[in-house]
């Protein structure tokens, strides 16, 4: 370790002014707590937290989450729950008529489904619920370090163990 690194590790630094330190150096913040320098192009709330995948308490959304992830989740919920009967009607019509011809012959079923879908997408309460669900799920993933599927698999394994012990 160079003399410069030794001096930087003993002097107190303001936490936000780390640009003159290199990766891996140790610094002491204004409260006397020691930290190792870890530099990233991402903001601290995207790489912090207990597992290094983000702060669980962070409620901000990245642009891709707001513009892509949440609308995709809304679309999935609309197709599987809210407008499911209309969606199945459109799918059945397209299967009956065939792919290319069905686009022209199933306009009524498509229009009804699209109207239902449009109504749900314009509902700010539905979007807020989808956003809250996503933020809660992301928070749990950041807190535990496991995706929802991994948590569900772990729950299943625990249940299986409890069944074997009976």
Backbone angles phi, psi at 75, to 5 degrees: -60, -40
In the predicted model, what is the mean pLDDT of residues 8-22?
56
Q: What is the separation of C-alpha 46 from the centre of its chain, rounded to a whole number of angstroms?
A: 11
- Top-confidence residue, 41 or 137: 137
Report the C-alpha gap between 159 and 14 in whole angstroms: 49
Q: What is the CA radius of gyration of the chain?
A: 25
Report the C-alpha gap between 129 and 121 in whole angstroms: 12
Positive or negative: CA dihedral 136, 138, 144, 148: positive
Q: What is the pTM of this model?
A: 0.63
- pLDDT per residue as tens digits for the range 89-139: 999 999 998 878 888 899 999 999 999 999 999 999 999 999 999 999 988
Token pair in block for residue 159: 């249940």
Do residues 9 and 26 lie in contact, with contact meaning Cβ atoms separated by under 8 Å? yes
> How many other C-beta atoms lie within 10 A of the C-beta of residue 166?
4
Q: Does the pLDDT of residue 22 top 90, yes or no?
A: no
Domain ranges of the chain: 3-39, 63-147
Report the C-alpha gap between 29 and 120 in whole angstroms: 49
Token pair in block for residue 13: 């630094």
């Amino acid at each position: 370790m160079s003399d410069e690194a030794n001096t930087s590790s003993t002097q107190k630094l303001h936490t936000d002014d780390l640009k003159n330190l290199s990766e891996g150096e140790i610094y002491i913040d204004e409260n006397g707590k020691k930290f190792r320098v870890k530099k990233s192009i991402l903001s601290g709330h995207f790489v912090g937290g207990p597992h290094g995948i983000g702060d669980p308490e962070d409620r901000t959304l990245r642009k891709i989450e707001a513009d892509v992830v949440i609308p995709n989740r809304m679309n999935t919920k609309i197709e599987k729950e809210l407008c499911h009967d209309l969606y199945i009607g459109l799918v059945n019509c397209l299967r009956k008529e065939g792919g290319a011809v069905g686009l022209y012959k199933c306009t009524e079923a498509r229009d009804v489904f699209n109207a239902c879908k449009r109504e749900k997408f314009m509902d700010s309460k539905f979007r807020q619920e989808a956003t809250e669900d996503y933020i809660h799920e992301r928070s749990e993933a950041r807190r535990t370090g496991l995706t929802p599927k991994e948590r569900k698999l772990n729950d299943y394994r625990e249940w299986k163990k409890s069944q074997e012990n009976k």
